Amino acid sequence: MLMLDWGILLIGLPLSGALLTFIFHAQSRWLGIGTALTINGSLAALLMQFFASTGTQRYPIGSWGAPLGIELYLDGLSITMLSMCSLVGLAVSCYAPAYFHMQSADNRASTATDSVPFNKRSGSGPVRQINKGEYFWPLWLLLWTGLNALFLSADIFNLYVTLELIGLSAVALTALAGSQEALTSAMRYLLISLLGSLCYLLGVALLYHAFATVDLTLLAERMTAVPATWASLGLMATGLALKTALFPLHFWLPAAHGSAAAPVSALLSALVVKASFYLLLRLWLTLFEAFNPGVPDLLGLMGAAAVIWGSLQALRQARLKLLVAYSTVAQLGYLFIAFPLAAGHAGAWYGALYLALSHALAKGAMFLAAGNIQLFAGHDQITALERVAQQLPVSLMAFALAGVSIIGLPPSGGFIGKWLLLEAAISQGHWGWAIIILAGGLLAAGYIFKVIGYAFNQATTPHAVQPVPAVMQWSALLLAIGSLLLGLFAAQPLALLAVGSPFHSISLP
């Protein structure tokens, strides 16, 4: 089988799984897990073929290449992002069935004690309890389809289509929690997502009108310094920064991530915001790097503000999930600090992308662990996390190990990423960026240890708790361990990122 045939499977499998779980909703749990395992198997085959080959790969769909047809494109950057998506996706797919089963049991218990047995609106009979797990699987697999398609797409219009698929699926998943807060957050998220997509699409229209193609390679050959280029750069960068929740455009993220169901929060933080950052980076490297007066410094300043503001807000939070959500705002800032540093040092892009990978695993682990704690205690108030260390040691260990990567301590992947960024800043004498990177690590230590400290408190009064299945705890722990393994085995992922020279003349540090 040709290499990019496996790439097509990475798009077709989750799409087929979404349709099957929608039709056969009673068996959606097993169909969803089976689809996740099959996707990871296809990715393993793609990785083996990719390592055996040299350079990048292009695949014209239906044998129609650019500019008339659609092409898939694979290099070290895109296959690294596919791997990140598959690892987090498999962990969340194993976690979700038990999570939604426990939620359904809680709903049935509350219905049994409800004094109003009839539907107030229709008066026709008992209210049917919705099994949220049945809705989760088709939406999650549609999201997975969009993510894989985005990482493989090679023209700016198909990238828009995948961006819309990701945004709409993410919004529906956010609303799945069903609370008033979740529905309000989902509506705000929808409006922001549509606004970001509209800005991006206007940029696509300007580029197509000016240069008569949407293929990235052909655009790179034809683009010149004309007003359409500057306008499209501003529009597309603004839309993607909005979707990535870059400060001060982050206002929608904490509420959306904090109110969603735990597996959904993990997906939003680990994968969805990374997709828009990946697209911005791909456009920057391929199209806009030569047309950048002042843009890298502006993005770097916004990233630095995100690191400080997000960390300070995380320190102030009383709820665990909101703390982790504001931590996401802070950690995303590091990715944009790479823009002003990359012009003069090879390691900045590698540092930012390594932080993106380690953040995906660590933040996925954190949200899953936070979901375990919330189900166990019935709340996520940080000051009332008594007995968590005694009763949920695996979940607390997952949170703590993920925190090691978020802080940037060795031997984690977060340490490797921050080290490369620091090296780029210090070697160029940019001490301001270096201070921001170090300060962000210290602030991260503050809010991580705040949670761990309260988790070791002894309960003053007994209260009811709920046991958490082992599969939910180990799913979180394995993701956290993965974020540490990225630090211990950094050479292989860094070498993979370099395949195909996605950073042009930049060599591996």
* 428-483 residue pLDDT tens: 889 999 999 999 999 999 999 999 988 887 766 555 667 888 899 999 999 999 99
- Across 391-410, average pLDDT: 92
Residue 59 DSSP code: E
- Judged against a pLDDT cut of 70, whether residue 54 lies above it is answered with no
Please give the single-letter amino acid code of residue 259: S
Residue 124: its pLDDT value, please?
A: 40
Cα distance between residue 180 and residue 464, in whole Å: 25
- Across 194-202, average pLDDT: 94
* Listed range (166-170, 300-304, 381-385, 413-417) with the worst mean pLDDT: 381-385
Alpha-carbon separation of residue 95 from 274, 363, 366, 472, 474 (angstroms): 21, 15, 13, 5, 9
Please count the residues of the chain.
509
Q: Which residue has the higher pLDDT, 507 or 328?
A: 328
- Judged against a pLDDT cut of 90, whether residue 264 lies above it is answered with yes
Cα distance between residue 34 and residue 467, in whole Å: 26
- Judged against a pLDDT cut of 90, whether residue 377 lies above it is answered with no
Among 20-34, 65-79, 138-152, name the most confident range: 138-152
- Across 218-223, average pLDDT: 86
- Across 253-282, average pLDDT: 93
- Across 366-382, average pLDDT: 89
**How would residue 63 be classed by pLDDT, with cut points 50, 70 and 90?**
low
**How would residue 226 be classed by pLDDT, with cut points 50, 70 and 90?**
confident
Provide the token pair at 462. 């007994």
pTM value?
0.91
**How would residue 72 be classed by pLDDT, with cut points 50, 70 and 90?**
confident
Residue 251: HSE in the Cβ half-sphere, 13 Å Cα cutoff: 5
Residue 272 DSSP code: I
**How would residue 279 be classed by pLDDT, with cut points 50, 70 and 90?**
very high
Residue 203: its pLDDT value, please?
A: 93
**How would residue 111 be classed by pLDDT, with cut points 50, 70 and 90?**
very low
CB neighbours of residue 181 within 10 Å:
14
Alpha-carbon separation of residue 86 from 37, 144, 425 (angstroms): 9, 9, 32
* 322-368 residue pLDDT tens: 999 999 999 999 999 999 998 777 788 999 999 999 999 999 999 99
